[in-house]
Each structure stands twice: as C-alpha cells, then as structure tokens.
Amino acid sequence: DGGITQSPKYLFRKEGQNVTLSCEQNLNHDAMYWYRQDPGQGLRLIYYSQIVNDFQKGDIAEGYSVSREKKESFPLTVTSAQKNPTAFYLCASSIDRKGNYGYTFGSGTRLTVV
Amino acid sequence: QKEVEQNSGPLSVPEGAIASLNCTYSDRGSQSFFWYRQYSGKSPELIMFIYSNGDKEDGRFTAQLNKASQYVSLLIRDSQPSDSATYLCAAISSGSARQLTFGSGTQLTVLP
C-alpha cells in the first residue's frame, strides 16, 4: 500500500540531545513537508522540500534541520537549539510541487523532552 | 502574516443534525481550500477541497466558498457520533512559495 511512514511513533529526548525523526513515502510525490502541532493548536510549518536536494524554511525553522537526498525520504532533526521541542510532529507530501490537491499526512511522531 | 481563522468551538450538535463549521482567510490571493478531519491523537485526513465559488458536495459533506467575503465553510448533514473530531481548515498561500496554512481547528462533538 502506498503511504507515508513516520518513525518512531513515540520519542523521548533528553536535554541537550539531538534526535532525528524519519519520514519515508512511496507515493512518488514531489513535495514533502514537516509540521509541528501543539495541544489544541493548528499545524505550523517547519520545513518543506519541493525537489530533491532543495528545501526551504517554514514559519518555525529555528532549532530544526532537514535533508532531502532522495525523493522518498525527508528526515527532520530536532537539535538542542530547539528549546521547547515537546510536540506532535507530522510529515506530509503532495503529488505536485504546489500542493494543488492537498497533502497526505503520515501518522506522526510524538516527541517528549524528559 | 497570512492567516486562516476558525471558530475554536467546541461545537456540539445532536445526532442527525447539520453541523456547520466556518473559516475565514486573510490572503486574498489564495485559490485552493481544504478541510481536514483529525481524530484525537491521530493525523489529519483530507475530506474536501474546493477551488471555485459556490458549493461542492460529497456525500454528507458540503464545502462552500465565497472568495469575495474570504469565507469557507463545511456542512455535515445527518451528523453521526463518528464525525466527532477536530476539523482543520487550510488554504494554499499565494505567491511562489505555496504551502498550506492551517487554522487552529474546530472541535466537533456529535451527541447520540
């Protein structure tokens, strides 16, 4: 079945530690996105990539980094510079670079600082 | 800052009633609008999109768009308890960097 796979489902980070969230899609979609969702709030864009080896900052990129070395993969690293990383992280993809048909979301990774 | 605003609710309706969810957007250049449903603890799933002024119907769902008023709505007819979820409105931003901007969501509860 085609879809977006995010792993792990739950992740615990210690203070000062970098962690990487995985996102893989087999939909052959061009564009991929990372969003963050805090309780009771909407989704805020962290980074997006419309083509391989290129990505752009979203509204809240500080403390995060990404790479897009393959069309299928768009991992997100939460660095120690991100002071409040506890949130629900959602990866998404769109069939075209402009998102004209909406986004398909993965099942999410819930990150908690311990 | 281009924004999408929704009534945060919560909204409660009895089973079988019509649920009406509303959304306004600030970017007059936005052309495409989406409604997502998000169950508690789950990821959003796309239920409707609309590009043209007027109504678009899909089963029990009707999306309405009024570009002059910068207003989008979602009607759910014959509401069921399984419709209880948070509904997110989203708009594609205008300009070269086009991404979905989401509202904060409206929590809907359908009472049996």
B27: closest CA among B61, B56, B87, B67?
A: B67
pLDDT on residue B1: 60
- The rounded mean pLDDT for chain A is 93
* φ, ψ for residue B81, nearest 5 deg: -55, -30
Tell if the CB–CB gap between A42 and B105 is shorter than 8 Å: yes
Say which of A41, A58, A108 has its CB closest to residue B99. A58
Give the helix, strand, coil percentages of chain B, each rounded to 5.
Answer: 5, 55, 45
Amino acid at residue number A112: T
The label of the residue with tokens 């002059």 reads: B68
Q: Chain A residues with CB-CB distance to B under 8 A?
A: 33, 35, 40-45, 48, 56, 58, 90, 98-108
pLDDT on residue A15: 85
pLDDT in tens, A68-111: 999 999 999 999 988 899 999 999 999 988 888 889 999 999 99
Using a CB–CB cutoff of 8 Å, tell me whether B111 touches chain A.
Answer: no
pLDDT on residue A98: 81
> With contacts defined as CB-CB under 8 Å, which chain B residues touch A57?
none
> With contacts defined as CB-CB under 8 Å, which chain A residues touch B100?
33, 43, 45, 99, 102-103
Q: Pick A39 or A9 by higher pLDDT.
A: A9
Say which of B100, B104, B105 has its CB closest to residue A103. B100
Inform me whether the pLDDT recorded for B91 exceeds 80.
Answer: yes
Q: Which residue out of A34, A43, A89, A90 would a mutagenesis test of the B interface target, given it has the greatest number of B Cβ atoms within 10 Å?
A: A43
In the predicted model, what is the mean pLDDT of residues A10-32? 94
SS3 category, B45: strand
What does the radius of gyration of chain A's CA atoms come to, in whole angstroms? 13
Say which of A40, A43, A100 has its CB closest to residue B102. A43
A27: closest CA among A11, A48, A4?
A: A4
> Rounded CA gap, B99 and B112, in Å?
38
Inform me whether the pLDDT recorded for B83 exceeds 80.
Answer: yes
pLDDT in tens, B3-12: 899 987 899 9
SS3 category, B82: helix
Q: What is the DSSP letter of A70?
A: B
| Cα dist from B70 to A33, A36, B24, B51, whole Å | 26, 26, 6, 12
Using a CB–CB cutoff of 8 Å, tell me whether B63 touches chain A.
Answer: no
How many residue contacts between A and B have a Cβ separation below 8 Å? 51
- Can you read off the two tokens belonging to residue A104? 């398909």
The C-alpha of B27 sits at a distance from chain A's nearest C-alpha, in angstroms, of 16
